[in-house]
Amino acid sequence: MVVDDHPMWRDAVARDLADAGFDVAATAGEGHEAVRRARAVRPRVLVLDLNLPGLPGVQVCREVVAADPGVRVLVLSASGEHADVLEAVKSGATGYLVKSAGREELLDAVRRTAAGDAVFTPGLAGLVLGEFRRLAAEPPSADTRAPAPPQLTPRETEVLRLVAKGLSYRQIADRLVLSHRTVQNHVQNTLGKLQLHNRVELVRYAIEQGLDGD
């Protein structure tokens, strides 16, 4: 599903995706409309602009992900401001591209987002990882009660450690001499055990557990 308030841009993105073999289930140009249509068609990937009339893109992201935690949101925005990137990720976005990205870069980003990768315009992934590390370093509040950690298998922990370092599923598969599908299965099992919804939340959890070190 493609959401953007500029009709020509929205139609061009939808057309490029359709020409590349994607099934574009719906489009929308306004925030409230986007939430309604996303709930109706339940897209696997939502390509979302942040600057929308009616309801801001970050709120659209928050409401769509709350209604369907399985959806993966790829923000496609004219803004590369750090504050916008971090707000989008904290709202549930799993990736962020600026609109200067080329057609092939966008198509590859949608494919990788559908496969479970967190895709960012170069330079932004480090920003997000840095923010997660900063949050993990903050002392917990006095009333925080940490639950017992879930029991992960050694292989799941190994995959989680590489996810925390920012490696893509393909890179993890190559590093561990596994198939791409096997890596995806380990990640999905880990998400289930940790009761998390997407790779971004998984990265944050891993950093909080100190799994991003050497």
What is the DSSP secondary-structure string of 116-143? T---B-TTHHHHHHHHHHHHHHSPPPTT
Quote the strand ranges of the chain, DSSP E: 2-3, 27-28, 45-48, 72-77, 95-98
CB atoms within 10 A of CB 56: 15
Phi and psi for 96 in degrees, rounded to 5?
-150, 120
Chain segment 20-70, per-residue pLDDT in tens: 999 999 999 999 999 999 999 999 999 999 999 999 999 999 999 888 888
Residue with tokens 């198939």: 179
pLDDT digits (tens, 9 = 90+) for 133-143: 565 566 655 44
3-state secondary structure of 99: coil
pTM of the full predicted structure? 0.69
pLDDT at 123 over 80: no
Residue 132 pLDDT grade (very low, low, confident, very high; cuts 50, 70, 90):
low
What pLDDT does 109 receive?
93
What pLDDT band is residue 201 in, cutting at 50, 70 and 90?
A: confident
Q: Is the pLDDT of residue 203 over 70?
A: yes
Q: Which residue has the higher pLDDT, 117 or 148?
A: 117
Q: What is the DSSP-derived secondary structure letter of residue 97?
A: E
Comparing CA positions, the residue from 115, 209, 196 lying closest to residue 157 is 209
Residue type, 163: V
Read off the pLDDT band of 94 (50, 70, 90): confident
